[in-house]
Amino acid sequence: MLITPEKIKTAKQEAKPFLKWAGGKTQLLSQLQALYHPDLRNSSISTYIEPFIGGGAVFFDVVQKYKISSAFIYDINPELIIAYTTIKNDVAKLIDSLTELADKYKKLDEDQRKDYFYQIRKQFNFERSQINLKQYSEDWISRTALLIFLNRTCFNGLFRLNKSGDFNVPHGRYKNPKIVDDKNLTTVSNLLQIAEIKLGDFQKCQENIDDTTFIYFDPPYRPLSSTANFTSYSTFDFDDIQQRRLGKFFADINEKTNAKMMLSNSDPKNEDPNDNFFDSLYQDFNIHRVSANRMINSNAQKRGSVSEVVVVNY
């Protein structure tokens, strides 16, 4: 599908993440925009790379606002890659499939909705092993529809996997969840036409980096405490060893190229003022702190404003 100027114009007005995503950056966009490299504004940057795509808020923001000619988005979570690829390739069929699920759900009473949710969740988990991740097929359309349905009807709109790789978020009790946003899905599809979507570890992005690249790293956040461990977006743990591996990769790319890079993570100083994990790991770069609302905590009294770390190499 060719992106036309008319489609870009529409996309600039409306595109937003199609999934609710823990750690999503929509609420931080105005603060992150202030930290974007000036070369985005003067059109010196032509390529955008996001190695942990997640909800994609920064991707949508950058591609809509600036003259990006190509983009590469990655994630190690195959469900995300399936969803983004499906929306890029077959958004109309996806909307039809999702509408069918939504219509069935909204006709049910509260108890029936709960039963239907768990029926869909069971189907989603059962079919995981049957999906061919290497080749796009019609199965990806129904898979993406199930994912969006679960995301829009589960508790807090989370994506969380247990150790077996099963989606395990319980039902959310919403009176009128917006399961199908056909206008946004179509706009997102238009924007994704410039992107190559790839399953893989963040280091895979190295093959596409040059001096006209802007890279935004948004890895699974380092837990603020031992009881706040929420890194299960995939079956792969992103622990401190992985955080350090990412830090080394960031430094290596900085040394080998003139690419402009930005990275987000939690700020351990929210819990322990003496925890210098990221200040030490990225001591050779500029570290900023932005304010965010913490929405995920078992203790409701601990939800609220916290700082987050933003690292840039400029």
pLDDT in tens, the chain (314 residues): 334 444 444 444 578 999 998 878 999 999 999 999 999 999 999 999 999 999 999 999 999 999 999 999 999 999 999 999 999 999 999 999 999 999 999 999 999 999 999 999 999 999 999 999 889 999 999 999 999 999 999 998 888 888 888 999 999 989 999 999 999 999 999 999 999 999 999 999 999 999 999 999 999 999 876 554 444 555 568 999 999 999 999 999 999 999 999 999 999 999 999 999 999 999 999 999 999 986 544 444 555 789 999 999 99
Rounded alpha-carbon distances, angstroms, from residue 177 to 21, 22, 103, 168, 269: 15, 18, 12, 19, 36
Please tell me the predicted confidence (pLDDT) of residue 211.
Answer: 96
Q: Note the pLDDT of residue 230.
A: 47
Map tokens 């995981």 to a residue.
Answer: 128
Q: pLDDT tens digits, residue range 12-60?
A: 457 899 999 887 899 999 999 999 999 999 999 999 999 999 999 999 9
Q: Record the tokens describing residue 182, joined without a space.
A: 């056909």
Q: Which residues contact 228 (CB under 8 A, 6 or more apart)?
A: 296, 297
Q: Give 116's DSSP letter.
A: H
Determine the Cα–Cα distance for residues 78 and 216; give it in Å rounded to an integer: 20
Question: Which residues have CB under 8 Å from 40's CB, separation 6+?
Answer: 62, 65, 66, 214
Question: Residue 10's pLDDT is what?
Answer: 45
